[in-house]
């Protein structure tokens, strides 16, 4: 199968895969020569138009020669003449330097002797020093010879830190309390209205953490209502001793034994044990499709009395009773004018009742429902 070269895309014939297939003069020969000719022409054009920039410290390029020996140019190169001039000047300077070096050697020897004397003085004062150290290093050590002053002691210095006083070096023992909260003792029996005394642990405090004291009785439920103590506020009502005694006495007066020692929950339970009068409810209702229907009572009605004023002028009274009263559900009527009997066919629920109005009379019905 024919392929192409990588750079000029020249067509190639593969003798292995193409076998004896016909050689295409146009694509395999003429087109290839055209591609070569075009590439060579482009190369000649590019070479003729190359623009080489002057050389610099950051790129290669054309370099100009110079005979100057005092130039600071970074784009020109020195000639041999310039190098010779510079060499002659350097040789003359070397002679001068050699003479100066002889003088300096003598001075250095004297300086070494003085350095040795200074090192000996430092060592005698307990300061480690050697002649291999620089003069600057030795002078820094001289400053440490100043005798310490002051009256600080180890307790005044943070633990692990070192300093000195009139008596010599000291190492601090003061605990560092920075970075953590810490429990504190509180002054039991020390009384000042509106103030709580805390005694923090000894040590250094950086002002970012807290010292505290624990007391299990410091809870909002131990405060009077709406009283705030050190930022903790009681929002709910709290029964004081006198009030609790009054509740206990009132409950006992209703026949249920109670005392101030009972918890509030127990007192509430005992209030629920107090027997009160029977519940009742009254109302006026318009019949619906021949029935009086009442719901939403807070008790189970057992006896219901009725009084009806019908739209046609007739009147009626009646009653009905739950089976718990007489053993079965009963309805009775009395004292009525004309027709329209009340109280028949009653039914009872946990919060209401239903009874019929004979002949589907219209008008208002007043009722009284009672517990049994």
The residue among 360, 238, 240, 239 whose CA lies nearest residue 292 is: 360
Q: Supply the DSSP string of 184-196, one letter for each residue.
A: -EE-TT--BTTB-
| 86, 66 contact by CB (below 8 A) | no
The residue among 122, 17, 317, 134 whose CA lies nearest residue 2 is: 17
Beta bridge partners of 228: 233
Domain boundaries along the sequence of the chain: 3-48, 179-235, 241-272, 280-370
Which CATH code of 2.30.110, 3.30.70, 2.60.40, 3.40.50 fits the domain covering 280-370?
A: 2.60.40
Cα(56)–Cα(54) distance, integer angstroms:
7
SS3 label, residue 18: helix
The whole-number pLDDT of residue 196 equals 73
| 28, 34 contact by CB (below 8 A) | no
Pairing of strands 76-78, 64-66: parallel
Each residue's pLDDT expressed in tens, for the chain with a length of 372 residues: 567 778 777 777 766 666 666 667 777 778 878 888 888 888 888 777 777 777 777 877 777 788 887 887 777 877 888 778 878 877 787 887 776 776 666 556 656 678 888 888 878 767 888 888 887 887 887 777 766 677 888 888 888 888 888 777 888 888 887 766 666 666 666 666 667 777 777 777 777 777 777 888 778 777 776 778 777 776 666 677 888 899 899 888 888 899 988 888 888 888 888 877 788 899 999 888 878 899 999 889 999 998 888 777 778 788 888 888 877 777 765 544 444 456 677 899 999 999 887 656 678 889 999 988
Alpha carbon 259 to its chain's center = 50
Q: Is 21 left (phi over 0), alpha (psi -120 to 50) or beta?
A: beta
CA atoms within 13 A on the CB side of 233: 4
| 333, 344 contact by CB (below 8 A) | yes
The whole-number pLDDT of residue 242 equals 87
């Amino acid at each position: 199968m024919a392929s192409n070269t990588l750079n000029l895309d020249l067509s190639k014939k593969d003798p292995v895969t193409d076998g004896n297939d016909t050689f295409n003069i146009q694509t395999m020969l003429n087109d290839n020569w055209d591609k070569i000719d075009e590439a060579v022409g482009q190369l000649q054009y590019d070479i003729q138009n190359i623009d080489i920039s002057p050389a610099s410290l950051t790129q290669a390029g054309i370099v100009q020669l110079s005979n100057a020996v005092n130039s600071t140019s970074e784009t020109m190169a020195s000639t041999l003449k310039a190098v010779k001039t510079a060499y002659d000047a350097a040789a003359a300077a070397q002679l001068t330097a050699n003479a100066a070096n002889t003088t300096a050697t003598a001075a250095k020897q004297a300086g070494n002797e003085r350095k040795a004397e200074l090192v000996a003085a430092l060592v005698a004062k307990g300061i480690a020093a050697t002649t291999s150290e620089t003069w600057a290093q030795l002078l820094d050590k001289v400053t440490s010879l100043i005798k310490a002053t002051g009256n600080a002691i180890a307790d005044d210095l943070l633990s692990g830190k070192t300093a000195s006083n009139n008596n010599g070096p000291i190492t601090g023992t003061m605990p560092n309390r920075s970075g953590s909260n810490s429990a504190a003792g509180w002054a039991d029996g020390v009384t000042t209205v509106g103030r709580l005394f805390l005694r923090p642990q000894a040590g250094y405090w950086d002002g970012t953490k807290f010292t505290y004291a624990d007391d299990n009785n410091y809870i909002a439920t131990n405060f009077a209502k709406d009283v705030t103590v050190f930022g903790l506020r009681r929002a709910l009502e709290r029964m004081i001793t006198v009030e609790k005694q009054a509740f206990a006495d009132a409950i006992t007066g209703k026949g249920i034994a109670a005392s101030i020692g009972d918890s509030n929950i127990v007192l509430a339970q005992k209030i629920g044990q107090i027997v009160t009068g029977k519940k009742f409810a009254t109302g006026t209702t318009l019949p619906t499709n021949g029935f009086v229907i009442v719901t939403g009572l807070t008790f189970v009605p057992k006896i219901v009395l009725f009084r009806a004023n019908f739209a046609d002028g007739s009147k009626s009274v009646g009653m009905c009773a739950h089976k718990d009263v007489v053993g079965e559900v009963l309805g009775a009527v009395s004292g009525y004018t004309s027709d329209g009997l009340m109280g028949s066919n009653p039914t009872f629920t946990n919060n209401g009742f239903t009874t019929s109005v004979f002949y589907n009379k219209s008008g208002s019905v007043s009722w009284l429902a009672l517990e049994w």
